[in-house]
Amino acid sequence: MTNPSLAQPRQTTISNPGPAPFKRLLSLDVVRGITIAFMIMVNNNGGPGSWHFMNHADWIGLTPTDLVFPTFVFVVGLSTVFAFEARLARGATRAQLAWHAVQRAAILILLGIVVNSFPFFHLDHMRFYGVLQRIGVCYLVVGLFYLWDRGATSKIGLLLACLIGYWILVRWVPVPGAGMPGRDIPFLDKDMNIVAWLDRHLMPGHLYEEYTTHNTRDPEGLLSDIPAIGTALLGMLTGLWLRAERSVKAKSIGLLAGCIGCLALGYFWSIWFPLNKKMWTSSYVLVAAGYSLALLALAYWAVELRGWRKGWTFPWLVFGSNAIAAYMFSELFPTALGIRVPDGNRSVPIHQFLFTHIFAHIPDPGWAAFGWSVSFTAVCFIPVWVMYRRKIFLKV
């Protein structure tokens, strides 16, 4: 009797297994957590005694504080690639993802308005621009663009259009009533530039600078969303690089090469188009992306290549897993600290009371301010740690 399994040749069917299952990029969560923690610190830096690097550059120039916001926008672009590809692999349609992107952007914008207006919500001077609003706009544009075309070429084309187009707009378009930048008015003048001019006409009485000097400009204004979209596109290109079929070592080298290239191009361009965070200049986009890539390359090398995942990553994972919640809490919590309490023969806000009776005893004003900043960030860690322990993640 012949064994059927030996009588006939065995047929092997080779099928396409489809996309490999998506593994969460732990190093990306670490970078997001470091970024949001430093953002909370510099937004609550302890006041005028704080060190220079804990403050934004006044106008032209760059400090480490100026790198926080663009790093977060960069991470948004990078995360969009992984999030969209994971959902597409699970069977979601592009139309479903597009609708979700619209909803998420709208929620981010509304949350930003809440942050700006809490607790009084005065409509007459409500600020409609802001950090979360810019994140929402960038996410919506690059997200929909990615769904339209998932290749790298189109991203590079739009990136060049954003950066070069913005430079042409700021440098060569006359400011109505003032003249040509670099000829009739100083180039990148604080008030007389096309970005500030448009915001004053679109949102009179609703700009950030209203609360600090006079109503002349907003650091998250409409036209400067254009180069900010470029920041998100650089993050998206990085995401495409990290998703490609290559070794972890090759990806690490690529991140380092991208870092060097962005820094070199950005600093070179800054000779003609200076670094300016408040106008989000094109040179600033490249330089900030270079430093974002440096942080990512370091985290990627340590976590993904070396396998250092335990211990030191924990606080950053807690912050990174609930970055929006951490930011919202850090922005709304100071309102509670503004409640006045007795202090001798007068009443003062709680934050002033705490600083005077605890941190002001530190002799060096820089260290006193830094102590306040770290303590405030540690308090903000508590609610997101509770959420992390209970597996509650705010997804908008």
Q: Do 292 and 392 share a domain, yes or no?
A: no
Which three-class secondary structure state does DSSP give residue 367? helix
Q: Do 269 and 387 share a domain, yes or no?
A: no
Return the minimum-mean-pLDDT range out of 64-78, 178-192, 257-271, 276-290. Answer: 178-192
In a domain, 22, yes or no: no
In 3D, which of 94, 93, 34 has the Cα closest to residue 64? 34
Burial (Cβ within 10 Å: 0-12, 13-18, ≥19) of residue 350: middle
Residue 174, pLDDT above cutoff 60:
yes
Task: Please give the pLDDT value at position 214.
Answer: 56
Q: Around 35, how many Cα atoms within 13 Å sit in the side-chain half-sphere?
A: 30
- Note the pTM of the prediction, 2 decimals: 0.88
* Cα gap 251→244, rounded to integer Å: 9
Residue 18, pLDDT above cutoff 70:
no
Domain extent for 161: 47-307
Domain boundary among 307, 335, 355: 307
Cβ atoms 285, 230 nearer than 8 A:
yes
Whole-number percent of the chain with pLDDT over 90:
64
User: What is the tally of structural domains in the chain?
Assistant: 2
In a domain, 40, yes or no: no
Q: Do 111 and 239 share a domain, yes or no?
A: yes
Task: Please give the pLDDT value at position 21.
Answer: 47
Q: Do 130 and 242 share a domain, yes or no?
A: yes
Give me the numbers of helices (H) and strands (E) for the chain, helices first please.
14, 2
Residue 281, pLDDT above cutoff 50:
yes
Task: Please give the pLDDT value at position 217.
Answer: 80
DSSP string computed for 163-229: HHHHHHHHHHSPBTTTB-BTTTB-TT-SSSSHHHHHHHHHSTT--GGGGTS-SS--TT-STTHHHHH
Residue 384, pLDDT above cutoff 80:
yes
Residue 8, pLDDT above cutoff 50:
no
Q: Do 334 and 285 share a domain, yes or no?
A: no
Q: Do 285 and 355 share a domain, yes or no?
A: no
In a domain, 42, yes or no: no
In a domain, 360, yes or no: yes
In a domain, 157, yes or no: yes
In 3D, which of 359, 379, 378, 385 has the Cα closest to residue 370? 359
Please compute the mean of the pLDDT values over residues 365-380 and round it to a whole number: 94
Q: Do 283 and 328 share a domain, yes or no?
A: no
Residue 133, pLDDT above cutoff 80:
yes
Task: Please give the pLDDT value at position 5.
Answer: 40
